[in-house]
Structures are given as C-alpha cells and as structure tokens.
Structure 1
Amino acid sequence: MRADVDVAPAAATGNMATGYTPAKPRGGRMAQNPSGMDTTGTDTATDATVGAFAAQDPRADLPVAHSQFGLLKQRRFLPFFVVQALGAFNDNVFRQAIIGMLFWLGASSEDKALYASLAPAIFILPYFLFSGLAGQVAEKLEKHRLIRITTAMEIAIMSVAAVGFYLQSLPVLLVALFCTGVQSTLFGPVKYSILPSVLRPEELTGGNGLVEMGTSMSILLGMILGGLLFKLAGDQAPWVSGLAVIALAVAGNLISRMIPRVDAGAPELRVNWNPIPESIHMLKLARKQLAVRNAVLGVSWFWFVGTVLTSQLPAYAELHLGGDATLYIVALALFSIGTGVGSLLCEKLSGRTVEIGLVPLGAFGMSAFILDLYFARTGLAPATGLDLAGFLSADGSLRIVADLVGIGLFAGFFVVPLFALIQSRSPKSELSRVIAGLNIQNSGFIVLAAMSALAAQKLLGWTIPQVFLALAVLNTLVAIWIFTIVPEFLMRFLSWLLVRVLYRLRVRGIEEHVPDEGPALIVCNHVSYMDALILSACIPRPVRFVMYYRIFNIPVMRWIFRTAKAIPIASAKEDPQLLQRAYDEIDAALAEGELVGIFPEGALTRDGTIAPFKAGVERILERARARGQNVPVVPLALRGMWASMWSRRDSRFGRMRVPRRFRAHVETSAAPPVDGATATAAGLEAQVRALRGDAA
C-alpha cells in the first residue's frame, strides 16, 4: 500500500470508540492545510517492509463468507459449530435425564430437593477450581487438538453416566456431572478463542451470533429430549439414556476430527499447576484493557440476568401462568428462540463490524421487556392446570409471549457484540486466558444470581413478578453505570443509530482491501460533515479521526471527543505547535499498528467535485519510513453524499431542514492498497476519482 496525500482536518470524526461526527461550529472554518485523518487501531504492528502487508495474516487466504450463513458451508467453521452445539445438547440431555430418572423411580421429594440443590453447585464448581488451568492449556496446545481431547473426555464421562443410569445410582451420576463440569471448563476457553483464528474480523459478529444461536437452541432441545427419555422409553429408559449420551459424545468426537489445524496462541507458555494464583492472574488479564474489562463485566451480567430469569421460570409457569411442566418448557423455548434470533440479527444490524453500539440497545431493551413482564401479570394466574392452548387463549397471554421473546431478542443484541469485542481487542496470545478469567467471573455471577433470587423470596418475601421488577431496575442501573465508565458503548450506539436512520449504505471492497491487522492509512474524498461517521460504520476495524481543533473544543462535547481518542488539528498559520502534535500522534498510532484515515483535500468540497489532494499524506508516510515502517494506503471513495444531508450543496439553513434526500443511497468503495513507499498525493487522488466516478 502506498500513500501520498496531504491531510485535512475532518469536519466530522469518529473513532474506534464512537464513530462520532460533529457539526461545524458557527463561524468556524475548516483548515485548508492540516491533515484530516482518522486513526484508530487495536493490533500490534509488525515491521512492515514493502509488500509485507499483503500476507501478514494467515486469515487473508481464508475464503470469504458474505453472510454468516455462508460460514456453515465452510470447513473452517462448520465442524467446530456442530461440535460445540452437540456438546451443549448432550450436557442438557444428561442433566435433564437425571431429573427424569428421579421422577421415573418415584423418588421422594427429599431426593429431588437434594439433586436440585447439589446439581448446579457440582456442575459449576470446576469453573472455580480449574479455569486457571484450562486457560493455560488452551493457550499452549493447538486448538484443534484440544477440542479432540475434550470430546474424547466426554466419551469417557458419558460412559460413567451410562453406568449410573443402568445402576440407577444418583451418586454415580453426580460424579459424572462433576466430570462434565470439568470437561466444559476445559472446552470453554477454546470455544471462543478459536473464532478469531478462523474468522476474518468482519465475520466475528456473525460467527459469534451463530455460536450463541446454536448454544441456545441446543440447550433447549437437549432439555426437551432429556426430559422425554424416561417418559417414552419405558422399562428400557436407563439403557436408552446411557446409550444416547454416549452416542452423542462419540458423534462430537468424530466431527471434531474434521476441524482443520488451528495453532496454539502461546505454545511457549509454561503451565502453572497452582490454580489459585493462575485464576487471579487470568482475572487480571481480563481487566487489563478498559473496554475488554467492561465487556467481560457485561457478559457476566448477562449470565446474572439469565440465571435469575430461567431459575424462576418453572415456578412462574405454574403460579403465574397457570400451567404445568410443559408450559415451563414453552416459556424457556420462547426465551431461547428470542436469544437465537437476536444473536443472528446482530450481523445484519452491525453491518458486519464489531458493533458495540448494539450493547446499549440490548441492555435497555432487556430492561423494557422485563419491566413489562412484571406489569403483564403481577398476581397469581386466574386459572390453573392450563395446557399450551389454554394458556394462549387466556387474556394477556400474547403479551407475556412477546415479553419472553423480546427479553431473549435483546439479550442476543447485548451479548454477541461483547464476545466479539473481547475476541477482537484481546491479544491472541492471551485470549484463551482472558476467556478463562471470564468463565471464573461468570461462575461467580451465576452463584450470586441464584443466591440473590432465593434471598429476595425467602427473606424479603418477594413474589416472582417482584423479582422481575427488581431485575429490570437493576439491569438499567448496571447498564447506565457501565456506559458511564466506558462512554464508547453509548456513543457507538448513537452513531450506529444515526447512520442507519439517515442513510442507506452500500459497501464495496472494504472487506477485501482494508487490512485485518497492522497499520494502514485510509484516504477518502471529503463531502459532508458525516463522512467520518459513515466510514467508521463501514470499516470493520476501529478508526480514529483527526478533527479541526475548534470542533474538538466545543464545550461539553470535548470530553466525548477525548474519550473517542480524536486528534485535534489546526493549520500551520493558526497553531503550528498543534499541527506538529497532531502529526506526532498520527505517527505514534501507525507505529502501534492502528488504522489512520485522512481527508487529503483539506476541507469539505464546495461544489461536489474532488479538490486536489494536499501533501500531508506524503509527510506522514515519510515519517513512518524514517523509522523503518512502510505503511500501506487504502484509497476509499464516498458516492452519493453530495446529495445527502449536511453537505455544502445547500445553504446552512437548508442543511438543517429534513430534505427529500433523507435516507439517501450512499456507497463506500475501496481500491486495493497502494505501497506506501511509492504513493503520491496525485496518484491517490486519481485512484479516489476513479473509484467515485461521476456520482458525487
């Protein structure tokens, strides 16, 4: 890649954090000389020699999946997806079959209560004990190999479970349940750390959405099948249950052998077998970066909310919906289906980027539907013993159905981008350990959720709807707290909402030509005050923008721009020292492997044409070469923005009206990267002109 361009301060800018685009201040004037840029990054730079940028990332050779469903046709994803779904399915078949056996045997209420109390604790205990070890092992071993090892463990564990079913021995089944927790603990870190190794950055959201959907539906179907085994198999139920869980484990192991090779994240890592210090170390790794720390907190909070809700559903279905066990499964199914649909929609809504702007939408959507679930039925059900048809025909039932689906839908919006953010911003050599730390924290939140719900009902005397009301309020307060600490989440939501309300975007070539990792300079024509916001919505990687200093210093807004890591800039006549600092920050960003986007014209177009590119780009590239780094340049062109809102086509008053070009069709096109050693301002200008064509 190559870049020769002068940089002009962006009229509006957005960064990896926000993509925010400010309006031009009254009386302000865009500087004509400084460099308008955009710099944001997440990846560590490697030494860039000429041409090296084209093949730094092994994912560059991966086949392109233009939608998340295309991943299901590719070997790099499909076998792993099936294995993780089968694992979740088998775990829940096994756990539900134990409950079915207790009813089949006519066990006493004391035995059922004992299992209900012991089973969750036994399954979750290994996450506290062994997550430290699991994170290290997942980092040290090749990921495909570890998956085969854990699925082989599952065969052995389910063989023990089959013996327990045959002997109808609860102690043996509880031992197998503990071992299942150990196996899940080992599989957890590799489950999420493998995705960034086999998916492109623009595929992370869609891939995580598929995984979450597969997990939700597998849990639901596993519970249904496990609950039916002892009802349908009659006297052969112990044999059938044992063979079923073994067969599912064998199937998972066989399919795992089709997962292609995925190298270890840190093969040189020395394993520390002492779980306590390693667990503490992994929790610290998960808290090292502010955005990752709060994403981890958000995922754990998702488990808190989910645990409170699902733990209350059996009693809620009986007492407040007037149904039986079947209605509880229906309520769980509605929640699971909503979560699956929400997870799948994330890719479409995010535009194939890691769009954390969906997180606030998910959080407040969850609160709204949980709150409505409280008001939908605050007291006991008017009738009892209802089947599904009877429940659906009762007054207010459709509102409850909509609430359960809505909670799940927005839960998907909430959690999928958080997983994608953790994966994209954690160093690959630490990701498995970060996930292990996440699992430890998740376990603590699950236990806290169960204890909190129990205490609220037993000690405070709250009803289940009152628990839901408290959860809605608490979820809102926690969301506000997280978004206050990291404004990136809320600002990104606002920019995401603004772009999708005002424009209809079409993107060409960005997935292919913007590098997934390492430094790059992005140059684009400058048409409107919304340009940087549009670009940040299209580019999968975060981008920081340079903005005119008078915009940067707008009262109240300044803290937002600082949080967004925007770079203020001025012309040499206005403030030469600020101009120099801007160039220094740009150079530092490129040295750290970040993306830098610039508007080389130096100002907004006044007539829709592209003005000559200034030489600031060449200065940026020269500075990078002087310290031994060759930075590729990606030419981009905006089409359709001249006829859209907030260009200079109209008067200032006209720009403030809602014109008929509201929801304008806007296209962003990218050309192959240019070698930074030979890029010139004139050459890049010619490429951008050719990309844009005749459409301003």
Structure 2
Amino acid sequence: MSSQFGLLKARRFGPFFATQFLGAFNDNLFKNALVVLLTFQAASWTAIRPEVLTNIAAGTFILPFFLFSATAGQLADKYDKARLARLVKLLEVLIMGLALLGFAIHSLPILFAALFLLGLHSTLFGPVKYAILPQHLRESELVGGNALVEAGTFVAILIGTLAGGLLAGAAHQPTWVAIAGLLIAVLGYLCSRGIPAAAAPAPELVVSLNPISETWRNVGFARQNRTVFLSILGISWFWLYGALFLAQFPAYARFVLGGDETSVTLLLAVFTVGIGVGSLLCERLSAGQVEIGLVPFGSIGLTLFGIDIAFASPTLLPPGAPLSLSGLLALAGTWRVLLDLFALGLFGGFFIVPLYALIQLRSPVDQRARIIAANNILNALFMVVGSLAAAGLLGDGLTIPALFGVAALCNAAVAVYIYSLVPEFMLRFVAWLLIHSFYRLRQSGIGNIPEEGPAVLICNHVSFVDPLVIAAASRRPIRFVMDHRIHRLPLIGFVFRHMRAIPIAPAREDAAMMEAAFEEVAQALAAGELVAIFPEGRITDTGELYPFRPGVQRIVGRTPVPVIPMALQGLWGSFFSRKDGPAMSRPLRRGIFSRIALTVGTPVAPAAATPENLQQIVAGLRGDWR
C-alpha cells in the first residue's frame, strides 16, 4: 500500500485530503454534539420531545443535498475547484461563528440554521471532492486516491461523532463545541490553500438556480452512460444499506446485545475500521487499476455477512443487561457479531471504491462534477427512502436482526439486477477471481495497449482461459474473436458470450459465419473498440506455436489499425490447457497460485502485420517459458 500512502505527501493530494478529512470531522462533531445536547438537555432548549428533535436535526442536515446539489455540480464544472474549496472552507468558518452565537444566546433556531448551513457546506464540497481527483491523479493512482478519501471520510465520521458526544457531555458550557468547530474550520481553510489549481472544464456554463430542472438535467447526464448510471445506483444502494445498519446501532446495542452506551461506540468503530481497511486494500487487490471486478466480490460479502449477523444476534437479552463493554466482550456471541460488522465494512470498501473511481473515469470531463452532484442527490434520496422503509418494517413488528436479514436479501436481489444489466461487472469479477485464485499473473508492457482508439491484439493460444487472463490485465474491454465451438461451450461459452466475443468458423465449415465475423470485427474497430484474435486458430496441444493464419492481415487491410503483439507464458500444463490429453480433465494438475505472465510488445504497423512477422514477434515475447 506504499504507493497510495505516498500520495499523502504529494501537494496534488495531501492538502486536499486534509481539507476533506477536517470537513467531515467538523460536520459530525457539530451534528452529534447537537443531537446529544437535544437528547439529554432538551428541556432547557424547547418543549419538543427529544426523539422528534433528533429526527428533525437529521432531516435539516440532509435537506440541502436535495436543494443545492444540482447547483453545486454546475459551480464545480464552471469554476476552478481549488478556489471553490477555499470558498467553501471560508463558509464553514462563518457557519461555526454562527453556531457559536447560537450557543452563546441559547437559541435553538440559530443552531438549526447552522446545521442546515453545514449540510449546505457538505453539498457544495461534494462535487469538488470527487471531481478534482481525476484532474490531479493519474489513472493508476485513482483507486488509491479514492481509497484514501473513503477511508479518511469514515475515520473522520467516527472521530467526529465521538468527539462531539464527549464535548457535549463533558463541557459545562456548550459554547466549547462551537469553539472547537471554529478552530477546525480555520485549520481546514489553511489546508485548502495548499490545493493546486484545478482548471474549470466548462467555464462557459451558464449556472441555473432552478433545483428541479437542474437535478433532472444532471441525472440525464449520468444516464447517457449506462455503466456510470448503474454505478451511481450501486453507490446509492450502498449508502441506503450502510445507513440502515448505522441507524439501528443504538437500539441494537441496547435491546439485542444488551450493552450500555459504550457498546454503540464499539459497533460504530468496528464497522468504520472495516470500511477503512477494505477501502485501502482495494488498491492492492486491483493492482493500481480501476478493477470493477471487486464490486461483485463486495456485494457477495455484504449479502453473506448481512445474513449472518441476523443469525448471530442473540434472541434473548443476556443476564445482567445492560452490560459494560468488558461484560459484553466476555460473551462468545459478541465476537461473531463484531466479525460480521467488520466484514460488512470490509466488503463495503471493496464495493464502493471501484464504483467511485469508475464514475470519475468514464464521465465526460465537462460534465463530471454535475454527474457527481446527481450521485449525491440519489445517495440522499436512497438514504431517506431506506430510513422510512426501516421505520415502517420495525413499526410493523419486525425485529432488528430480521431487518438486517431482509436488507441483505434485498442487497442480493439488487446486485443480480445490476449485473444482469451490465455483465461487465460480473465478467471482470470472474477474470479477477481466476488470476487471484488459480494463478499469480505478472504483467509486462501492459502500457502498450492503447488507452483509447481501435487496435487489434494478437496472442498465442495456450488454454481455454486465455481470453479471461488477457481481459483481467487490460484496463479496457476487449472483443475476442474465437472458435465458434468454444463460444458454444456451456460454462466458459456463457462468459465469452457476455464478453461480446465474436464467433468464427473456418471457411470450409461455415463460410457465412466467417464472413459475418470479419464484418463484425470491422464494425467494432470502426467504433473504436479493441479486438483480440488468436492467429493460430486453435489451442495448442503441443505447447508450441502453430503457424499463424492470415486473418489479421485481412482485418488490418480493410481497417488499418495498430496490431499489438502479446505472449502468454506459464499456462502450458495448467488445468485449462491440452497437455497430456483433453483440457479440464485433471483438477489441480499444477496446484494453485501457479505463476503465469502476459508480455505485451510494441505496436506493429498494419503494413508489417504479416503472419510470418507476427509469429516471429510473439515467439520472441514468449521465449522458452511456455
């Protein structure tokens, strides 16, 4: 993880990280301090019941996300984001000054006004927070940067919540809450001054203040790219799912586990640490690239451990409840619950970090901040709907553990729906799982695959999983041309069909299919896609290269594009190869975690893409390691 932590020392990331960390910390310090004061000292402020006040406070903070997210997205696209960050931090200083006044004159309306404005502060900073990362980070750093931001945000939420509760409970004068918030806001502003300039992508944009029309327009921008929009829905679902769990922690700790007030902090801390660890592990597991294959992995964990916590929860209160923290930890069942909560956070990190990075990467530069604003709006909407649904189910007599189980089953249904609409997520997961369970893949020259534009990739053909290994290494989707018989296989063929593989047959078997394949290849290249072909035309059963066929020469003769030679090494003799007989007939023939490699050569000009030349290049890339 050294590379992602190294970003903290870089001026293009460190000041921004400190700014957003302090902002999240301050939001939660003030919000939780106010909730604690309203819960335990409500009588000195108002005649309204404490439980009503706390819900009003939650609604007051989230309301600006609905009202101003669209405007915030426009501002972040129109103006320099570093300058906007500094202005937002100045606003935070003024807000905490207002909060100080509210505490000083004992005015609840002023304090709620400050809470509303803090929500506005977060709303304005949201599009800046995520849209600035692709401007200051390289693509290979995007996952690590997002991981640090997500981990830092949740740690800031945890520390801010704890600090707010402690200040509200320990301070004789609540003005100390605002004084602490004011100091943090000033520190945040000073950090923001170190953020490098981030040029406006759409300076000619005319800002509209109509929240309804602009919200709809922003959602429309997001819907232009199906993968981006479904990623936003996935993130919004995660916030619904996570918020549902977090909202139940106080009642779950008291009435299910039988703990005292400190047990709520324990649950929050374990869940938060899980998210932080999961977020930071994303960069290691994705090898520095935006690996959306981790998203299905995350959703599987969110489902399984959500169900398990429902079964792990005690059905009866333990004797002597409420228990102290040490008494609660002395119960064996508590550790299973804590493990489930940590795993929920861990897999939540796997789920959410690649989705944020994918949105940043695939959104148009001049619309990125507005698309992120649409994401913030939908996040807030989903959290509100989730809270109302949870309140309704609990009001109808559903227990909290049963609510967790229902939410986990809903998570599975949502995941299946999203992955059926965009198979790319599940396909990347299959490829990622393959090279992290059966193999250890070493990549060389992967940067020779162009980041955009059409190209033909060629490679030696050693096993049935060659396309999956190549797809796992490539940052871009690839259309593979493959034998029609492999394309029709029950299991592997299903995966390849969803990868939009192009089936081909020899002319002597089906001339019409062969012509249709070449036509589809030409259309894919014209659309700027990557197309991969195995020029041998078959999987080797000797371990050596078969003569290359002239198909590549025909392809680039019609559509002149670069040809990228590649070589797979180490797959000969594996379970999926044809060494010593049919493939997939001898499980674990070479054990697990065997080393393989993919070496990518420099592009070859179309005129030089003769079968003989390409075979010589691929043989040189492969060397003696088969």
TM-score by length of 1: 0.83
Q: Distance in 1 between matches of 2:618 and 2:194?
A: 44
Q: Distance in 1 between matches of 2:12 and 2:420?
A: 38
Q: What residue in structure 2 maps to residue 501 of structure 1? A: 437
Q: What residue in structure 1 maps to residue 231 of structure 2? A: 295
Shift of 1:498: 2.8
Shift of 1:269: 2.7
Structure 1 stretch displaced more, 151-160 or 517-526: 517-526
Deviation digits for residues 123-150 of structure 1 (CA, Å, limit 9, x no counterpart): 1111111122122222222332322232
Shift of 1:332: 0.6
Deviation digits for residues 527-562 of structure 1 (CA, Å, limit 9, x no counterpart): 222111111111222222122223334579877544
Structure 1 stretch displaced more, 267-276 or 441-450: 267-276
The alpha-carbon distance between structure 1 residues 397 and 637, as it changes in their structure 2 partners (threshold 3 A), is same
Contact 1:140–1:265, Cα closer than 8 Å, also in 2: yes
Shift of 1:405: 0.9
The alpha-carbon distance between structure 1 residues 590 and 652, as it changes in their structure 2 partners (threshold 3 A), is same
Q: What residue in structure 1 maps to residue 381 of structure 2? A: 444
Other structure's SS at 1:650 match: coil
1:19-418 paired onto structure 2 within 5 Å: 67-102=3-38, 105=41, 107=43, 110=48, 112-235=50-173, 237-238=174-175, 240-382=176-318, 383-418=320-355
Q: Quick one: which amino acid aligns to residue 162 of structure 1?
A: L
Question: Would you say 1:428 and 2:388 are equivalent positions?
Answer: no
* Structure 2: gaps spanning 5 or more residues: none
Shift of 1:411: 1.5
Q: Distance in 1 between matches of 2:284 and 2:79?
A: 34
Q: Distance in 2 between matches of 1:402 and 1:274?
A: 46
Shift of 1:172: 1.1
* Structure 1: gaps spanning 5 or more residues: 1-64, 626-630
The alpha-carbon distance between structure 1 residues 268 and 682, as it changes in their structure 2 partners (threshold 3 A), is farther
Q: What residue in structure 2 maps to residue 22 of structure 1? A: none
Deviation digits for residues 152-211 of structure 1 (CA, Å, limit 9, x no counterpart): 222222222222233332211211111111121122122222233333334333322222
The alpha-carbon distance between structure 1 residues 558 and 688, as it changes in their structure 2 partners (threshold 3 A), is closer
Other structure's SS at 1:605 match: coil
Q: Quick one: which amino acid aligns to residue 141 of structure 1?
A: Y
Q: Quick one: which amino acid aligns to residue 437 of structure 2?
A: V
Structure 1 stretch displaced more, 323-332 or 538-547: 538-547
Q: Distance in 2 between matches of 1:622 and 1:147?
A: 52
Contact 1:294–1:482, Cα closer than 8 Å, also in 2: yes
Question: Would you say 1:550 and 2:488 are equivalent positions?
Answer: no
Shift of 1:287: 2.5
Deviation digits for residues 275-319 of structure 1 (CA, Å, limit 9, x no counterpart): 211111222222333322322221111111112111110111111
Contact 1:137–1:271, Cα closer than 8 Å, also in 2: yes
Higher normalized helix content (fraction of residues): 2
Q: What residue in structure 1 maps to residue 570 of structure 2? A: 640
Q: Distance in 1 between matches of 2:269 and 2:142?
A: 26
1:667-686 paired onto structure 2 within 5 Å: 667-674=597-604, 682-686=612-616
Contact 2:481–2:533, Cα closer than 8 Å, also in 1: yes
Shift of 1:506: 1.6
Q: Distance in 2 between matches of 1:426 and 1:127?
A: 21
Other structure's SS at 2:571 match: coil
Pick aligned residue for 1:597 from 528, 532, 554:
532
Contact 2:232–2:355, Cα closer than 8 Å, also in 1: yes
Q: Quick one: which amino acid aligns to residue 308 of structure 2?
A: D
Contact 1:324–1:387, Cα closer than 8 Å, also in 2: yes
Q: Quick one: which amino acid aligns to residue 533 of structure 2?
A: I
Q: Distance in 1 between matches of 2:356 and 2:372?
A: 9
Contact 1:201–1:540, Cα closer than 8 Å, also in 2: no
Q: Distance in 2 between matches of 1:683 and 1:75?
A: 47
Q: Distance in 1 between matches of 2:134 and 2:548?
A: 37
Q: How many residues align?
A: 623
Contact 2:440–2:596, Cα closer than 8 Å, also in 1: yes
Question: Would you say 1:539 and 2:477 are equivalent positions?
Answer: no
Other structure's SS at 1:652 match: coil
Q: Quick one: which amino acid aligns to residue 334 of structure 2?
A: S
Q: What residue in structure 2 maps to residue 652 of structure 1? A: 582
Q: Distance in 2 between matches of 1:538 and 1:615?
A: 26
Contact 1:644–1:662, Cα closer than 8 Å, also in 2: no
Contact 2:442–2:598, Cα closer than 8 Å, also in 1: yes
Structure with more contact order per residue of length (Cα contacts < 8 Å, sep ≥ 6): 1
Q: Distance in 2 between matches of 1:281 and 1:354?
A: 27
The alpha-carbon distance between structure 1 residues 541 and 485, as it changes in their structure 2 partners (threshold 3 A), is closer
Pick aligned residue for 2:393 from 440, 456, 464:
456
Q: Distance in 2 between matches of 1:482 and 1:290?
A: 11
Q: What residue in structure 2 maps to residue 665 of structure 1? A: 595
Q: Distance in 1 between matches of 2:102 and 2:617?
A: 70
Contact 1:90–1:249, Cα closer than 8 Å, also in 2: yes
The alpha-carbon distance between structure 1 residues 315 and 570, as it changes in their structure 2 partners (threshold 3 A), is same
1:1-16 paired onto structure 2 within 5 Å: none
Q: Distance in 2 between matches of 1:678 and 1:168?
A: 81
Q: Distance in 2 between matches of 1:563 and 1:658?
A: 27
Q: Distance in 1 between matches of 2:240 and 2:97?
A: 32
Q: Distance in 2 between matches of 1:675 and 1:136?
A: 44
RMSD over aligned CA atoms reads 2.7
Shift of 1:70: 3.3
Structure 1 stretch displaced more, 633-642 or 179-188: 633-642
Q: Quick one: which amino acid aligns to residue 594 of structure 1?
A: E
Other structure's SS at 1:396 match: helix
Q: Quick one: which amino acid aligns to residue 451 of structure 2?
A: D
Q: Distance in 1 between matches of 2:366 and 2:607?
A: 31
Q: Quick one: which amino acid aligns to residue 597 of structure 1?
A: A
Identical columns (%): 47
Q: Distance in 2 between matches of 1:172 and 1:138?
A: 29
The alpha-carbon distance between structure 1 residues 468 and 198, as it changes in their structure 2 partners (threshold 3 A), is same
Q: Distance in 2 between matches of 1:199 and 1:575?
A: 49
Structure 1 stretch displaced more, 668-677 or 207-216: 668-677
Contact 1:355–1:417, Cα closer than 8 Å, also in 2: yes
Q: Quick one: which amino acid aligns to residue 578 of structure 1?
A: M
Q: Distance in 2 between matches of 1:653 and 1:525?
A: 17
Deviation digits for residues 400-438 of structure 1 (CA, Å, limit 9, x no counterpart): 111111111121222222222322333223222221111
Q: What residue in structure 2 maps to residue 17 of structure 1? A: none
Structure 1 stretch displaced more, 137-146 or 558-567: 558-567
Q: Distance in 2 between matches of 1:243 and 1:548?
A: 70
Q: Quick one: which amino acid aligns to residue 600 of structure 1?
A: P
Structure 1 stretch displaced more, 169-178 or 154-163: 154-163
Q: Distance in 2 between matches of 1:359 and 1:654?
A: 28
Structure 1 stretch displaced more, 219-228 or 186-195: 186-195
Structure 1 stretch displaced more, 631-640 or 391-400: 631-640
Contact 1:496–1:537, Cα closer than 8 Å, also in 2: yes
Other structure's SS at 2:478 match: coil
Structure 1 stretch displaced more, 330-339 or 273-282: 273-282
Shift of 1:331: 0.6
Other structure's SS at 1:667 match: strand
Q: Distance in 1 between matches of 2:61 and 2:566?
A: 52
Q: Distance in 2 between matches of 1:72 and 1:205?
A: 14
Q: What residue in structure 2 maps to residue 608 of structure 1? A: 543
Shift of 1:465: 2.0
Deviation digits for residues 79-138 of structure 1 (CA, Å, limit 9, x no counterpart): 222222221111111112223444675646845334302111111111111122122222
